[in-house]
Structure formats: structure tokens, C-alpha cells
Structure 1
Amino acid sequence: MDSKSKEQFVHSVFESIAPKYDLMNDLLSFRRHKAWRKFTMRKMAVPKGATAIDLCCGTCDWTISIAKASQNGEVIGLDFSQGMLDIGQSKINKLELDGQVSLLRGNAMQLPFEDNRFDYATIGFGLRNVPDLVQVLKEMQRVVKPGGKVVCLELSKPTWEPFKSIYYFYFQKVLPMLGKLVVKRYEQYKWLPDSLVAFPDINRLAEIYREIGLRHVKAYPLTGGIAALHIGTKGTDGA
């Protein structure tokens, strides 16, 4: 599948599963995604007034967490799925965060913002779905200020047995069937394990962070390695 076909397919996947996305996240992560996000927020240590852009923001749970931590800093959520953004906007309105958080339909490969704009650029469970993950990370690095953070929370690849075998059986066989039962979508949830096959493991993704020039790169395996958090800092010289 070429990059354009992948982009179109992934877009159709997320538009179709948007109404049940939060429920399926529970199934996908063994209900651990909220704990992973809390861990990430502790490591980010967002100060009051910090600005952020959250790519592939989906239904905006992480976007909202960042906004609450920042208290009054501008936070932008960007996603290519209008269905996801509509659900996220309803959450933001309910929490009365619409004066602080703005949502934008856009492409993570080409961010419509100037260099050195944000204190944080984040992406949660979206990097494995983009056509070119290196390009997205470079864009994230470009739009953060010198000293800013590029943060990725993503599914990863467990390495120790027997957990590895159990996890892959669940991910590749059970999860698509749950998708069929719960949201009447089999092919869409078969895509999710397929998307992880070519995705770099925790160490390789850390290397990519360093290769594009990010510094002080830290990688944290989560829940036996089924997810990983990566944080890198943009150099104060802008590189």
C-alpha cells in the first residue's frame, strides 16, 4: 500500500469507528490507555501557561489533559477525521474549555504553523498510522520552540515470553473479532494490528528521534512493552 492509499484507507477507518473509538481503546489497551496517559502527563510536567499541539488528537482525551495541566495556555488539537473532532469538540464544550482549546482538521505531515510556536508537540496512538512517521516527527520538532518537547505515546512490541505470544494472539486474532462484535467493523480493527507490524520498536524509535536531531531522548516501556512513551527535546540552537 503506497502512502496515498494508506492515508485514504486510514482516514476511512477512523471516520467509520469514531462513535465507538473510546470504547475500543479500552479493549485495545486492556483498559490501560488512561494509566499510560497519566504516566505521560507526569513525565511531561506541563507548567501553567504552556502551549501545545496534539496531533492525531482523535476524540481529544489527551488534548484535554494537556489543557487542564496548562490551565490557560493555548492548546490545539489536530486530526484528519472530522468525525473524531466532532466528538472531541463536544467533550471540550462540556468542560467549558473551548476558550483555551481549538480543534483543526489537518494533515500531521504538513502542519499549518510557523516554526518555534509551541512548548509541546504530542501524538498519541497515531504515529503508526501516518504515511511517513519521520516526516511527522520532523514537523513536530519544527513547530516546537527551542527547548520544547516532542512526545509520542504509542503501541509498541513486547519482547518477553510468554506475554509476547499472548499479546500478539489477542491483538491479531481476538481484537478484530471484538471490533466485529462491538462496532460491526472487522477489517477496520484488523488494520490496527497490521499497522504495528512495520512500526519501529521502542529502541529504533528512540534512534529515529536522535537521528532527526532531538536531544535528551528518553523512552519508557509500558505494561510489558505493549506501549511506549518517547520524549525528546529540541536543541536551544533550534536543531
Structure 2
Amino acid sequence: MSGLGSRYWGEVIEVLRYIIPVYDKVNRVISLGKDEEYRLRGIRGRVSAGNIVLDAGSGYGNMSRVALAEAGGDAKIVMYDPIPEMLANVKNYLPDSQAALSSGVFEYMPFRDGTFDAVLCGYSLRDAIQLPQAIAEMHRVLKAGGRLVIVDLGKPDSPVARAFVSAYLKYFLGVFAYFAAGKAGLKFKTLYGTYLRWPKNSELDSMLKEKFSRVQFDKGMMGGAVIIAAYK
């Protein structure tokens, strides 16, 4: 399967809307404290001063915050998310941000061809309705030489590693999330459903190479995390 499909996507969006107040806290715990490190690994050297950057699936701006720091504060950021309530929280997390805010889905982006120097997807691309179409749209809105940076769950190709990652997401993630955020944390168990619909690492690599001229594919946590840069 290449994407969540419209019906399951709607369920996931409702869960994300519900967990807005605890999202950061739980994400830090269930990533075993690696979420910020992986964002930085993806963005470092791929966002520069003066860049125009699209934070796709921005939430309230974690990737934008790292990108702005990497650019020394000199970057034009557009934060794009399907959940208006997420964007409404930007001012609480990035109070000095001058980012433009826009709401919509990956598959139909309201931006002209070749607009952005970089498109960032931090823990968001797995929530695409139709993954190939989402990738095609991100390619379309990038300038020639632009970079798509993806930080997300990985699905290992090795059956043994995949079994470990699957077991963690299915059985242990909910426990950690509950201890981090109480009852609201249990909603994070939906993440396992998105993982089941997510392609294996080699399949995702191949999908990106169908559109992009060069793909750098790095892994962490036994392949259960991916840090990717795809160049137009």
C-alpha cells in the first residue's frame, strides 16, 4: 500500500487533532529521545541563508525551527498542514516566527512549480493519502536543484529488524506514550496503522528515485528511522 487512503487518513487526522497538547512530549519519548537529533541530521547542510522553505506537514513548526536556526534566521518559511488547529498553535511554540501559514493536503499543494529551495517533511510523509502523488507534488514545487528532506519512521527490509520495529510500535509504544501523557498518549497507538501502510525502506528509496535525480538514504534505530535527502 502506498498511502493511507482517504478513509483511514480521516481517522488519523482526528487522532492528530486530539493529541495536539501532548504531541511533542510523547514524540520525544517514543522516539527514544532521537527526534530532534534526526531533524537536525536531515536539515543540516540542506537549508541555507536566503532559502525559501516549505515545511510540509509542519504541525506547529519543529522542522521550521531547526531550519531557521540552520539558516541563521534568514529563511522564508511556509508552514503547511492539513490541520488548522496545529497551525493555530504556531504562535505558542514559535512566538517570533514570521512564517506564512497554509492548510491543505500533500497531494494538492496550492503553490506554483519551482517555488521552493527545500521541502521538509518531519514525521509527516507517512500520513500521505496517496504517497506517489504526494512525492510528485513535492518534486513539482521544488526549484531545480532543490532538496526534499524526509525524517520519519522506517520499515526495515530485514525481516528480523522489521519484526523488532513492528513489535515496538504495536506493543510498547502505547505503554511509553501512556506514561508520558496519560490517556491522551494511548491515541498514539494509531501510529502502528500508519506504519503498516508505509513502504519498506528499499521501496521508499525506489519511489523517490523515480522522481529525483539523487537520493541520500540514512537510517537509525535498526532501520526503524529514516533520514532522507532527495535532490531535484
Return the TM-score normalized by structure 1: 0.87
- What is the alpha-carbon distance in structure 2 between the residues aligned to residue 4 and residue 47 of structure 1? 35
Counterpart in the other structure of 1:206: 205
Per-residue deviation at 1:31? 1.0
| Equivalent residues of 2:170, 2:192 under 8 A apart | yes
Counterpart in the other structure of 1:177: 175
Counterpart in the other structure of 1:140: 138
Per-residue deviation at 1:144? 0.7
| Equivalent residues of 1:59, 1:84 under 8 A apart | yes
- What is the alpha-carbon distance in structure 1 between the residues aligned to residue 45 and residue 204 of structure 2? 18
Per-residue deviation at 1:137? 0.8
Counterpart in the other structure of 1:66: 67
| Equivalent residues of 1:20, 1:183 under 8 A apart | no
- What is the alpha-carbon distance in structure 2 between the residues aligned to residue 208 and residue 162 of structure 1? 23
Instruction: Kindly indicate whether structure 1 or structure 2 has the higher relative contact order, using CA contacts under 8 Å at least 6 residues apart.
Output: 2
| Equivalent residues of 2:157, 2:200 under 8 A apart | no
Task: Give the alignment's Cα RMSD to 1 decimal.
Answer: 2.2
Runs of at least 5 residues in structure 1 that lack an aligned partner in the other structure: 235-239
AA partner of residue 32 (structure 2): F
SS at match of 1:189: helix
Q: Work out the percentage of aligned pairs sharing the same amino acid.
A: 23
Does residue 218 (structure 1) correspond to residue 216 (structure 2)? The answer is yes
Per-residue deviation at 1:2? 7.4
Does residue 151 (structure 1) correspond to residue 149 (structure 2)? The answer is yes
Superposed, 1:181-196 pairs within 5 Å as 182-185=181-184, 188-196=187-195
Query: Per the alignment, do residues 31 and 2 of structure 1 end up closer, same or farther by CA in structure 2, a change over 3 Å counting?
Result: closer
Counterpart in the other structure of 2:97: 97
> Which deviates more from structure 2 when the two are superposed, residues 29-38 or residues 181-190?
181-190
- What is the alpha-carbon distance in structure 1 between the residues aligned to residue 128 and residue 186 of structure 2? 18
- What is the alpha-carbon distance in structure 2 between the residues aligned to residue 160 and residue 138 of structure 1? 28
AA partner of residue 120 (structure 1): A
Query: Per the alignment, do residues 174 and 2 of structure 1 end up closer, same or farther by CA in structure 2, a change over 3 Å counting?
Result: closer
| Equivalent residues of 1:154, 1:229 under 8 A apart | yes
SS at match of 2:172: helix
Per-residue deviation at 1:120? 0.4
AA partner of residue 120 (structure 2): T
- What is the alpha-carbon distance in structure 2 between the residues aligned to residue 124 and residue 106 of structure 1? 16
Per-residue deviation at 1:85? 1.7
What is the number of equivalent residue pairs in this alignment?
Answer: 228
Query: Per the alignment, do residues 36 and 193 of structure 1 end up closer, same or farther by CA in structure 2, a change over 3 Å counting?
Result: same
| Equivalent residues of 1:61, 1:88 under 8 A apart | no
Return the TM-score normalized by structure 2: 0.89
